[in-house]
Structure 1
Amino acid sequence: MAYVFIWSFAILLFPLLLFCLEVVVGCFRYAIARRATESLRIVPALDQTLKGVVLVPAHNEHSVIGATLESLLSACSQNMRIIVIADNCSDDTAVIARQYHCEVIERTHAQDRGKGFALAFGLEHCRADNPDVVMVVDADCTVNANALSDLMRCADHYQTIVQGAYTLVAPEHAKPATRISAFAVFIKNIIRPLGLAKLGGSVPITGSGFAIAGTLIDHIDLASGEIVEDMKLGLDLALLGQKVEFVLPAKITSVLPTDNQTSQVQRARWEHGHIGMITKYVPKLLLFSLKELRWASLITALDLCILPFIVLLTLSAGLSIILGSAMYLIGWSVFVYWIVGLNIMLLVALIVANALRGSDRLQLKDVYALSEYALNKIGLYRALTSGKRSRWHKTQRELPAQPPKKK
C-alpha cells in the first residue's frame, strides 16, 4: 500500500513541479520583457534580401479576413508576399482577399479538409520560389507592426521554426468563463513557453503566428488529419532533434468566441487532440531523448504530459487533499509538507501571472466561476473516455461582415 502512495505522490509531483517551474520562470522573463522589450531581441536586424511568404489559411472567413489582411499589409516589409489559401470556401472569402491585392489560391477537396491540408497546399504552391522563411497567420488574427519581421529574422537566424506570442483575448463584457479561458490561454501560449524555452525545451506551436525556415520545408509534413496539426508539427521536429524557439515581441491576437456551445466545441478539439498527442508522442520522445542524450527532447516530453490548465488544477486539488490526508494519517508528514508547499507555490505563481496581465487580469468575481468552468470539463473527458474524438470543423464567428477596404 505504501508503494501506491509513493507512486501517486510522484505522479502528482512531477507534472505540477514542472508546471510551477515554467510559470515562475515565465513570469520572471515576461516581467523583464515588459520593462525592456529589447532585452529579448537577440537577433540582428532583418536582412532585406530575405524572401518571405505569409500563408493565410482561410475557410469561410468573409467576416474577419479583411481586418486580418489590413494588419498583415501594414506589417509587411520588402520581399514579403501574402498568399491567402481559400480552402473549401462557400462564401466570398477569396473575392474579398483579392480586393486587398493579395495573392489568392483556391483549394477544394471533399475528404481532405482542415488547416493542415490547406497549409500543405500553400507550401507546395510557393516552393518553386525558394522562400527563405514561410510564415503562417490564421485568417481571424491581427498582428502587431513588427510581428512579421521579428518572426522572419528569428526563423532565418536559428534556421528552425519559431513561434510568436499568440493570444486569444476575451471580448468586452465577456462572461467569466470566457475570461478564465483567456487567462488559461495566456498561461499556455505566453508564460509557459517563456519558461519552457529557458529550461531548454522546444516550445509548442500554438496555432497561428509561427515561421518556418526555408531549409526545413522539405522535411515537414503538414498534410494530416490531426485535429491539432500545429502541435504535431512541433513534436515531429523534436523527434528530428530540432527546437521550436519562442519570439515574445511578435504578437498575434484573436478574439475568443462568446457562444458557449462554440467555446465548448473548440476546447474539446484542443484538449482531445492534446491527450492524443500525449499517448502518441511521449513514449517516442522519451526513447529519443535517452538514445540521443538530448535534454530538449526529455523536457519537451515532460511538458507534453502536463494536462490542460483547469484540468491540472482540479486534479491537483483533489489528489492533494486525498494524498495529503492519507500520508498524514500514516505519519509521512514530510510528503504532506511537499504537497502543501507545491500548491502554495502554484497559487502564488498564478497570482503573479494574473497581475502581469494588467487591465486584462481576472477579477474576484471571475474566480468564483472556476468551479462551474471545471465542471464543464467533465463532459469533454467523458466523451474522450467513451471513444468520441473531436473532428476538425470551423469555429463559428459572431463578428459582423466587414466591408473590404481596397488598398
Structure 2
Amino acid sequence: MQYKFVDYVFLFCIMSIWILLLYNGLLTYFGYKYSVELSKYPLEVIKNMNRFPKISILIPAHNEELVIGKTVLSILKLDYPKDKMEVIVINDNSSDGTGRILKEIQDNNKDRDIKVITTNKENGGKGKSNALNLGYNLSKGEFIVIYDADNTPEPISLRILAYTIDNNKDYGAVIGKFRTRNKRKNILTKFINIEGLSFQWMAQGGRWKIFNLCTIPGTNFILRRSIIEQIGGWDTEAIAEDTEISIRIYQLGSKICFMPLAVTWEQEPETMKIWFKQRTRWVKGNVYVLWKYLKKPKEIIGKKIAVDIYYYFGVYFLFLISLIASDIIFILGLFTSIKVSVSGVFVIIWLLSYVMFVLQVNIALSIEKGEANRENFFLVLLSYFTYCQMWFLVTIKGVYAYIQDKVLGKKATWYKTERFE
C-alpha cells in the first residue's frame, strides 16, 4: 500500500512514453519503405515533362538582408520556363537593406517576372500569414509555391513539385524536403540536421505511407490556387500557419503529398538563444492550432486529420507531463524514501526506450546519402541526454507563452529568426 499512488503515476508515464515510441517506430518503418519506393522513381519523366503550369513563387521576408539575395538568385536558377514563373517577394516592414538588395536583383534581371511588395507599419509587420495573403492577392499562377527567405532550392525541385501536383488531382498540396545547409557550423546545427532528417522520414514519410497524411512544413511546398480560394487564404492569427492551413486543406477532402525528391537547403539557428526562440514559436503556434480544433470536435471526429490533432496533444501535453512526472519520481527515489515498487524494472524499461530512440533515428539517417556515419551515430547517442532534453523547456515556455497571449489578447506579429552570413 506504501506509495501506491506513485506506482500508478509511474506506470501511466511509462505507458504514455512507450505508446509514442512505438508509434514513431511504426512511422520509421513505413518511412523507410517509402524511401525505397522513391529510389526507383523515374526522374526522366519529370526532366522531360511537357506541360508547365503557371507558378507563382511567394517569399515572405522581414529584415532578411543577409540571405534574401542568395535565395532569390537560386530561385531564378530553377529549371522551369521563365515565362511560366513569377517571383513575388513580400518585403514586409523591413528596416534593413532587404529592399535595396531586391531592387538590385530586379534591375539586373529585367527579363524575369520579379515583383516586390513593400509594406509599412500600417499594412505589414503582422506575421507571415498576413505577408502570404498579400503575395497571394497579387499572384496570377495556377499553383502557388512558398519558400522561406533563407532557402536555396535545388534546380529540379520546382519541376518535381509541379509535376507531382499537376498529375494527381486529389492532391491539394505537395511538400518537398528541407536540408540544413549550415550543418557543419557547430554541434547545435549538427543536432538540428539530425532532427530535421529523422522528423521528415518518421513524421512525414511514415504518415504519408500509412495514412496518406502529412503536414505542410512552412517552406518548399506547392498549393493549388483553387484550394487557397476555397479556404480564404492564411489564418492571420496563426503563428504556425503551415500546420493550420494543412488541417483546412484536409477538411476540404484534399491530400497533402510528401515528395522528398524536391529538396531545398535552409539556414538553421547557430546559437542556443536563436534556436530557443524559434522552437518556442513553433510550440506556441502548434498549441494555437491544437486548441482551435480541439474545441470544435465535430470538425475533426472521423476525419484523418484527427490523427495529427491527437498526436500534437500527445506530444505537447501527455508525453511532456509523463516525462516530467517520471523524472520527478526518479529524483525522489534517489533522495527520499519514496520509491516505486517496480524500480528494478525501471532501468530495463529506460534502456529499452533509449535503444528504441537510437535505432529509429539511425534508420532515418540511413536513408540520406552520407548521413549514416560514425559522427552522427555518436551524436544521436548524445542527443538523447542533451538536445532532446532541451525540448522540455521549449515546450513549457511555448505553452506558457500561448496562455499568456490569450490572457493579454496579443495579436500575431513577425517572430524573426535571426540569420547568419
Q: Determine if the TM-score, normalized by the shorter chain, exceeds 0.5.
A: yes
What is the match of residue 78 of structure 2?
75
Q: Deviations over 1:11-35 (max 9, x none)?
A: 33433322221122112322453x4
Aligned equivalent of 2:23, options 18, 21, 27: 18
What is the match of residue 119 of structure 1?
132
What is the match of residue 279 of structure 1?
291
CA 1:43–1:74: 2 relative to 1, 3 Å: closer
What is the match of residue 230 of structure 2?
219
User: Residues of 2 paired with 1:197 and 1:247: CA distance?
Assistant: 10
Preserved CA contact (<8 Å) 1:116 1:223: yes
Please, which runs of 5 or more residues in structure 1 have no aligned partner?
400-407
User: Residues of 1 paired with 2:226 and 2:321: CA distance?
Assistant: 40
Q: What is the CA-CA distance between 1:120 and the residue it aligns to?
A: 0.2
Q: Deviations over 1:366-386 (max 9, x none)?
A: 643543334433443443454
Aligned equivalent of 1:85, options 80, 84, 90: 90
Q: Which moved more, 1:41-50 or 1:262-271?
A: 41-50
What is the match of residue 301 of structure 1?
309
What is the match of residue 402 of structure 1?
none
Instruction: Among all aligned residue pairs of Structure 1 and Structure 2, give the percentage whose two residues are the same amino acid.
Output: 21
User: Residues of 2 paired with 1:231 and 1:145: CA distance?
Assistant: 26
What is the match of residue 266 of structure 1?
278
Please, which runs of 5 or more residues in structure 2 have no aligned partner?
331-338, 406-411
User: Residues of 2 paired with 1:24 and 1:312: CA distance?
Assistant: 24
Q: What is the CA-CA distance between 1:363 and the residue it aligns to?
A: 4.5
Aligned equivalent of 2:117, options 105, 117, 120: 105
Q: Which moved more, 1:144-153 or 1:216-225?
A: 216-225
User: Residues of 2 paired with 1:198 and 1:338: CA distance?
Assistant: 29
TM-score, normalised by the number of residues in structure 1: 0.80
CA 1:367–1:392: 2 relative to 1, 3 Å: farther
What is the match of residue 390 of structure 2?
376
Preserved CA contact (<8 Å) 2:13 2:326: no
Q: What is the CA-CA distance between 1:300 and the residue it aligns to?
A: 3.0
User: Residues of 2 paired with 1:165 and 1:64: CA distance?
Assistant: 19
CA 1:154–1:366: 2 relative to 1, 3 Å: closer
Q: What is the CA-CA distance between 1:249 and the residue it aligns to?
A: 1.0
Letter in 2 for 1:300: D
User: How many residues are aligned here?
Assistant: 382
TM-score, normalised by the number of residues in structure 2: 0.77
3-state SS in 1 of match to 2:215: coil
User: Residues of 1 paired with 2:41 and 2:325: CA distance?
Assistant: 36
User: Residues of 1 paired with 2:382 and 2:355: CA distance?
Assistant: 19
3-state SS in 2 of match to 1:211: strand
User: Residues of 1 paired with 2:200 and 2:151: CA distance?
Assistant: 15
Aligned equivalent of 2:34, options 29, 32, 36: 29
Matched, 1:397 2:419: yes
What RMSD, in angstroms, separates the aligned Cα atoms of the two structures?
A: 3.7
Letter in 1 for 2:87: I
CA 1:113–1:194: 2 relative to 1, 3 Å: same
What is the match of residue 210 of structure 2?
199
Q: Which moved more, 1:258-267 or 1:134-143?
A: 258-267
Letter in 1 for 2:209: K
What is the match of residue 378 of structure 2?
364
Preserved CA contact (<8 Å) 1:177 1:366: no
What is the match of residue 167 of structure 1?
179
User: Residues of 2 paired with 1:317 and 1:4: CA distance?
Assistant: 8
What is the match of residue 145 of structure 1?
155
User: Residues of 2 paired with 1:97 and 1:74: CA distance?
Assistant: 13
What is the match of residue 62 of structure 2?
59
Q: What is the CA-CA distance between 1:262 and the residue it aligns to?
A: 1.3
User: Residues of 2 paired with 1:264 and 1:341: CA distance?
Assistant: 29
Q: What is the CA-CA distance between 1:224 and the residue it aligns to?
A: 0.8
